[in-house]
């Protein structure tokens, strides 16, 4: 947990000193336009959800959003959300701090995805932490991807998350856009394009 806090503090400091680059390295498909209110959450209990929240805040592109780390379908319905931005990536420390197993996390994710689909919500699957949040088939990271990917209306993925082409194939299977960022900070540029 201390590591996550330190990383977020360093990222926050870096962001406060660095303006958003107009030359952010964003390739692939144009990002899908987002709707509001927006829910930012995570899949796998990794630190990426908090990072995503910080970057969305820093982008200043959307103010009508909320971050919930472990929402259930009733939380999503109560919030009236139109778009769910799911930051995918698992962490053993995050799961431990939440007091749940990866099996319990996947059960929760399955329920919120089924509910979101039934309610016609827009689902944006994001993998912004790179290959450190990828793993072997059956790993917590890959199971988190498996839980979200079939429901995604768009993917936003860090380039080194897709070294094996997995997200390219998922986007083709779903028939949805795949936007690639070179660096995690480039996520801000994508959010600005989604909500301009």
| pLDDT tens-digit map of 130-149 | 999 999 999 999 999 999 99
- Give the total number of structural domains in the chain: 1
Say whether pLDDT at 24 is over 90. no
Which CATH number characterizes residue 27's domain? 3.40.50
Closest alpha carbon to 154 in 136, 183, 174: 174
CB 149 within 8 A of CB 172: no
Indicate the pLDDT class of residue 23, thresholds 50, 70 and 90.
low
Say whether pLDDT at 22 is over 60. no
Q: What does residue 144 show for φ and ψ, rounded to 5 degrees?
A: -65, -40
The predicted structure's pLDDT at residue 17:
39
Mean pLDDT of 181-196: 97
User: Which range is least confidently modeled, 24-33, 76-85, 123-132?
Assistant: 24-33
CB 125 within 8 A of CB 148: yes
Of all residues in the chain, the percent with pLDDT exceeding 90 is 82
Mean pLDDT (the chain) is 90
Of 29 and 13, the structure prediction assigns the larger pLDDT to 29
Say whether pLDDT at 187 is over 70. yes
- Tell me the pTM: 0.87
The burial class, CB within 10 Å (0-12 / 13-18 / 19+), for 150 is: middle
Say whether pLDDT at 122 is over 90. yes
Indicate the pLDDT class of residue 92, thresholds 50, 70 and 90.
confident
Domain range spanning residue 27? 2-195
* Residues 126, 2, 45: CA angle, nearest 5 degrees: 30
User: Which range is least confidently modeled, 52-56, 58-62, 70-74, 91-95?
Assistant: 91-95
CB 111 within 8 A of CB 56: no
The predicted structure's pLDDT at residue 95:
87
Say whether pLDDT at 152 is over 70. yes
The radius of gyration of the chain from alpha carbons, rounded to an integer in Å, stands at: 15
Say whether pLDDT at 19 is over 90. no
The predicted structure's pLDDT at residue 98:
85
């Amino acid at each position: 947990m201390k590591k996550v806090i330190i990383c977020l503090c360093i990222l926050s400091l870096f962001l406060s000193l660095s303006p958003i680059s107009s030359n952010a390295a964003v390739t692939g498909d144009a990002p899908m336009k987002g709707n509001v209110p927006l829910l930012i959450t995570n899949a796998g209990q990794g630190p990426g959800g908090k990072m995503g929240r910080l970057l969305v805040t820093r982008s200043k592109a959307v103010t009508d959003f909320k971050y919930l780390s472990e929402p259930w379908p009733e939380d999503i319905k109560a919030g009236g959300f139109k778009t769910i931005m799911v930051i995918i990536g698992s962490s053993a420390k995050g799961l431990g701090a939440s007091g749940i197993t990866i099996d319990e996390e996947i059960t929760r994710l399955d329920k919120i995805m089924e509910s979101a689909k039934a309610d016609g919500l827009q689902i944006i699957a994001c993998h912004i932490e790179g290959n450190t949040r990828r793993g072997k088939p059956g790993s917590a990271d890959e199971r988190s991807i498996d839980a979200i990917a079939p429901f995604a209306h768009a993917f936003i993925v860090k380039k080194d998350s897709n070294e094996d082409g997995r997200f390219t194939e998922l986007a083709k299977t779903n028939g949805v856009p795949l936007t690639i960022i070179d660096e995690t900070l480039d996520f801000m540029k994508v959010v600005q394009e989604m909500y301009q």
